[in-house]
Amino acid sequence: MIPELGKRLRGFRWKFFGMWGLIALLLAVMNYRFITSQLDHNDALREDMRLIVDTVADDVAEARLEKTIGGLRSSNTGLERAMARPTSIDSVPVSA
């Protein structure tokens, strides 16, 4: 009777821990899949943020360039007037 009971308990023990082992394995796989999906999502977000930052940086650089060009235009009015003059050799006054 005792060996029979031991065999039954041994089988029960393997079934019990085997069931919990399968549940733990299932949870580990689900956790792994969840984490990898979140990492993929984070990669997509990272790419979106990189695109946004690049776009904003380009816009800021363009605005700074326009501001610089506008400042140069307003400070170089004499140069603009000189460049607007005719530059042919015939238009230069010759002093005798």
Separation between Cα atoms, residue 36 and residue 42, nearest integer Å: 10
Choice among 3-12, 40-49, 59-68, 87-96 with the minimum mean pLDDT:
87-96
Q: Identify which of 83, 80, 56 has the alpha carbon closest to the alpha carbon of residue 70.
A: 80
Q: CB within 8 A of 73, min separation 6: which ones?
A: 80
Q: Residue 27 has what pLDDT? A: 92
Alpha-helix residue ranges (DSSP H) falling in 1-96? 2-75, 77-84
Its sign, for the CA torsion 39, 45, 49, 52, is positive
Mean pLDDT of all residues belonging to the chain: 74
- Taking only the tens place, the pLDDT of each residue in 49-62 is 888 888 888 888 88
Q: CB within 8 A of 80, min separation 6: which ones?
A: 73
Written as six digits, the tokens of 41 are 């999502």
Choice among 5-19, 24-38, 49-63, 75-89 with the minimum mean pLDDT:
75-89
Q: Residue 6 has what pLDDT? A: 64
Whether 80 contacts 73, CB under 8 Å: yes
- Whole-model pTM: value is 0.37
